[in-house]
């Protein structure tokens, strides 16, 4: 089992390094070679994931804990390479391998003769590696490693068509959201290290139930609550939850296969995945579960309302995804963790299909039997009918503007930046004064 796991982890890494070196060595790998290789890689990965899942099932869902040598060891600090093979991990790893395999196959035709095909394959291979790390990582530091890689590949794929300014602008928006939320996971890891002397989520949850926790030099309840809060904070951007929702529809500027895999399937579900990993920890702090539920519910409502005002397929799908992920957050908050895993897998698979078919939407529409029968499509849900027409109109108008989320974000940033603007203006005056003094002293008369 361990051998299989190591292969699963190292295979994409080796492939990634090979691609990186071939780039520097200027080996012009043909499109055919690349597409055949990744097809093979995805098949092997899927088979290995499947086998690993079967082993976990046969072991009665008993998690296997793996500890390797310290990656960094300095004084009292060590970065341990720790993994866990459990139900959640293998489910996500299997999902990743299968869906990325589908994307590899799809992009073979979709990105045929595209200039950036090599780049696309390299970034998707990096994603595959990063997702394996996150799926099996047992410590926050390890998860952060994969987390950052997913963010980086995501941003680079949004700006895949880098000769257009719009995708680039949107990729910058995505990176700002990512970086702000990645602070959360980094802070959680560092505080966990400081207050609990471990970043292993199993140990962290176990320590919370230890009656001697506070006497053993660990942090108080507030500090430990904040560790949990940082984790919730970290999950916000990746899963596009409020207030970090508006970057996601904008991120659809990347090629359709990457939108499918990142924002329909895998990257978007990393937020719920992280919450599920730390569910036992959150269970100790009911307030955190309330926060998770509230954010999820609000995001779901927001995305549903806004999504219904949008007219292009990918944007509608993006909002639908946010809405479903919001519901998954609520499920986690309510304690339906197994249902949340099922929902996550089902939703990821459905969205991948929807995103990949989004470019053939018109064709699909006319091939729809409902259209052929000239029947009208039911547009208003019964819940909507309960709301008065006036209110519906008002909600629609606000939803059309995305509930002014971008406007408020912009205003908040402007509000935060005024001290800096004031200081810059003061500094300019100060420098001018210095220059005048220097000129009056040193200039030839």
Partner 1 sequence: MNAREIPLYTLNNKWENTIFTLLAFLGVCFSVYFFNTSSSSLVQLKGFFFELAFDKFSLFLSAVFCLSLFVGLYPVRKENEIDKSFIYYVLWGLGILLSNNLTTFFVFWTLQRSLPAILIFRSIRNSNTRGGGTYLIQHLTVFGCLLALIFLALNSGYATASFSEIPKSFFTWPVLILSFIIIYESHGIFPFHSWVHDLVGQFSWYKIAALFLARPGVLLFVKFLEPTIQHDPHIFTTMLLALSIFSSIYWSIRGIFETNVAQTTTYFSVAASSLLLTGLQADHTAALGTYLNLLVISLCGTSMWSMMSYIQRYTSIKRINQYYGLAQFYPNIATLFCLFGFCMIGTPLGASFVVEDLVINGLLDKQPYLGLGHILATCLNGILFFKVFTRLFLGTNAYPTKVNNFDLTRLQMLPYVAVLMVMFLIGIAPRLFLVNLQW
**Residue numbers at the binding site for partner 1 (CB under 8 A):** 23-24, 26, 71-77, 79, 130, 141, 145-146, 148-149, 152, 155, 159, 162-165, 168-169, 171-172, 175-176, 179-180, 182-183, 186-187, 189-191, 193-195, 223, 417, 420-421, 424, 427, 430-432, 434-439, 442-444
Name the residue nearer to partner 1 (CB basis): 233 or 262: 233
What's the min distance (Å) between Cβ of 126 and partner 1?
9
**What secondary structure does DSSP assign to 162-186, as a single string?**
TTSHHHHHHHHHHHHHHHHHHHHHH
Q: CB of 279 within 8 A of CB of 213?
A: no
Alpha carbons within 13 A on the beta-carbon side of 368: 13
Helix residue ranges per DSSP H, 197-312: 201-208, 221-238, 247-250, 256-259, 270-277, 279-283, 286-307
- Please tell me whether the peptide bond between 243 and the residue prior to it is cis, using omega within 30 degrees of 0: yes
Task: List CB contacts of 300: < 8 A, sequence separation 6 or more.
Answer: 322, 323, 324, 326, 327, 330
What's the min distance (Å) between Cβ of 74 and partner 1?
5
What's the min distance (Å) between Cβ of 148 and partner 1?
5
Name the residue nearer to partner 1 (CB basis): 191 or 279: 191
Name the residue nearer to partner 1 (CB basis): 368 or 432: 432
List the structure tokens of 444: 């030839």
Name the residue nearer to partner 1 (CB basis): 175 or 348: 175
What's the min distance (Å) between Cβ of 362 and partner 1?
28
Q: CB of 264 within 8 A of CB of 352?
A: yes
What's the min distance (Å) between Cβ of 397 and partner 1?
33
Looking up tokens 């200027």 gives: 26
Whole-number Å distance between alpha carbons of 324 and 297: 10
Name the residue nearer to partner 1 (CB basis): 26 or 212: 26
What's the min distance (Å) between Cβ of 329 and partner 1?
24
Residue closest to 180 by CA, chosen among 139, 223, 151, 143: 151
What's the min distance (Å) between Cβ of 351 and partner 1?
26
CA dihedral (286, 138, 325, 321) in degrees, to 10, reads 160
Residue 411's alpha-carbon distances to 69, 84, 405, 407, in angstroms, are 49, 44, 10, 6
What's the min distance (Å) between Cβ of 15 and partner 1?
14
List the structure tokens of 161: 């068509």
List the structure tokens of 248: 């996601």
What's the min distance (Å) between Cβ of 419 and partner 1?
10
Name the residue nearer to partner 1 (CB basis): 388 or 439: 439
SS (H, E, C) 391-430: HHHHHHHHHHCHHHHHHHHHHHHHHHHHHHHHHHHHHHHH
- CA 363, 303, 143, 136 dihedral sign is negative
Name the residue nearer to partner 1 (CB basis): 141 or 331: 141
Name the residue nearer to partner 1 (CB basis): 363 or 432: 432
Name the residue nearer to partner 1 (CB basis): 199 or 358: 199
Whole-number Å distance between alpha carbons of 139 and 147: 12
Name the residue nearer to partner 1 (CB basis): 138 or 308: 138
What's the min distance (Å) between Cβ of 289 and partner 1?
24
Kindly report the number of other CB atoms within 10 A of residue 166's CB atom: 11
What's the min distance (Å) between Cβ of 27 and partner 1?
13
Name the residue nearer to partner 1 (CB basis): 5 or 191: 191
30-34-39 Cα angle (round to 5): 150
């Amino acid at each position: 089992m361990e051998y299989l796991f190591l292969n699963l982890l190292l295979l994409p890494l080796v492939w990634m390094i090979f691609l990186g070196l071939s780039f520097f060595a200027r080996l012009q790998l043909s499109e055919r070679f690349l597409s055949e290789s990744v097809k093979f890689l995805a098949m092997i990965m899927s088979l290995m994931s499947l086998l690993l899942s079967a082993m976990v099932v046969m072991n009665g869902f008993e998690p296997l804990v793996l500890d390797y040598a310290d990656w960094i060891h300095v004084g009292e600090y060590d970065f341990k390479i720790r993994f866990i093979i459990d139900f959640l991990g293998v489910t996500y790893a299997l999902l990743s391998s299968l869906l990325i395999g589908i994307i590899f196959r799809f992009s073979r035709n979709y990105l045929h003769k595209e200039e950036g095909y090599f780049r696309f394959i390299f970034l998707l291979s990096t994603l595959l590696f990063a997702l394996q790390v996150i799926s099996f990582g047992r410590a926050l530091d390890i998860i952060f490693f994969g987390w950052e890689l997913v963010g980086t590949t995501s941003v680079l794929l949004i700006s895949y068509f880098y000769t257009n300014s719009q995708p680039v602008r949107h990729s910058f928006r995505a990176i700002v959201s990512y970086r702000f939320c990645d602070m959360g996971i980094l802070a959680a890891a560092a505080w966990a290290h400081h207050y609990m002397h471990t970043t292993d989520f199993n140990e962290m949850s176990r320590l919370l139930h230890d009656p001697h926790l506070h006497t053993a030099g660990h942090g108080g309840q507030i500090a430990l609550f904040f560790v949990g809060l940082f984790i919730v904070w970290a999950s916000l951007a990746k899963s596009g939850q409020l207030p970090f929702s508006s970057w996601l529809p904008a991120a659809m500027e990347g090629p359709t296969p990457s939108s499918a895999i990142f924002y329909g399937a895998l990257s978007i579900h990393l937020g719920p995945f992280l919450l599920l990993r730390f569910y036992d920890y959150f269970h100790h702090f009911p307030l955190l579960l309330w926060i998770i539920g509230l954010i999820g519910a609000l995001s779901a409502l927001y995305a549903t309302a806004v999504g219904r005002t949008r007219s292009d397929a990918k944007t509608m799908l993006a909002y639908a995804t946010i809405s479903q992920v919001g519901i998954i957050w609520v499920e986690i908050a309510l304690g339906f963790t197994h249902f949340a895993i099922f929902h996550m897998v089902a939703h990821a698979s459905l969205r991948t299909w929807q995103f990949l078919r989004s470019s053939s939407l018109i064709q699909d529409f006319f091939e729809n039997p409902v259209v052929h029968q000239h029947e009208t499509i039911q547009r208003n849900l019964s819940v909507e009918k309960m709301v008065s027409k006036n209110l519906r109109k008002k909600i629609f108008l606000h939803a059309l503007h995305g509930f002014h989320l971008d406007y408020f974000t912009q205003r908040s940033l402007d509000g935060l930046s005024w001290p800096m603007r004031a200081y810059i203006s003061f500094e300019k005056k100060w420098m001018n004064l210095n220059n005048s003094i220097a000129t009056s002293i040193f200039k030839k008369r």
